[in-house]
Amino acid sequence: MKKYLLAGIIALAMPAYACQEAELEAEFETRPFTSLEKGMYSHYDKQANLVFSDRKMWESHYKAAHDENVPAVDFTKEMILAVYMGTKPNSAYSVEVKQIRNLPPSLDVLVQTTCPVEGNMYLQVITHPYHIVKIEKTSKPIGWTYISATEECPKPPEKEK
């Protein structure tokens, strides 16, 4: 009898959970983005969320932070979002823009971080993880939400720069 009762409770709870999940997804629409560059090494050693909406600032930043040619961006139609994780002591760290959500009146950048898992071995090398994406130009404020793929990740930067 207990088995049937438990099965009935689970059967009733599953559709409710699925409905809640669908409602959460329906609360916002996502914006497309193009990944320009993602890596472990840059000359930018601070933890930061950066927004570039003009060519001069973008080129100045990129030339200082990276050794490569500046990626082309049409700033009349596009803008750049860059996430830097700061200086890290090993190869376990990474950062990735996962989604850009339209949450009126603003956009929210969903960023996932990965950090070392206790007991695993990693290359002992200084890294500066980052991800740079391009989106359609907007005048909306940009917010940042961090999620962690691992429990040990540090807090994200508190302010938008």
Report the alpha-carbon distance of residue 126 to residue 130 in Å, rounded.
13
The token pair at 62 is 């990129």
Each residue's pLDDT tens digit, 63-99: 999 977 999 999 999 999 999 999 999 999 999 999 9
Token pair in block for residue 37: 């560059």
pLDDT at 20: 34
Tens of pLDDT, residue by residue over 9-44, are 444 444 433 433 343 354 679 999 999 999 999 999
Q: Domain-by-domain residue ranges, the chain?
A: 30-148
Residue 100 has pLDDT above 80, yes or no: yes
Identify whether 105 is preceded by a cis peptide bond (ω within 30 of 0): yes
- The average pLDDT across 152-158 equals 65
pTM, two decimal places: 0.78
Q: Which two tokens stand for residue 43?
A: 């000359």
DSSP conformation letters of 33-81: -EEEEEES--S--SEEEEEE-SHHHHHHHHHHH-SSPPPP--TTTEEEE
Q: What is the pLDDT of residue 87?
A: 96
Distances (CA, A) of 98 to 30, 37, 65: 11, 14, 22
Mean pLDDT for the chain overall: 84
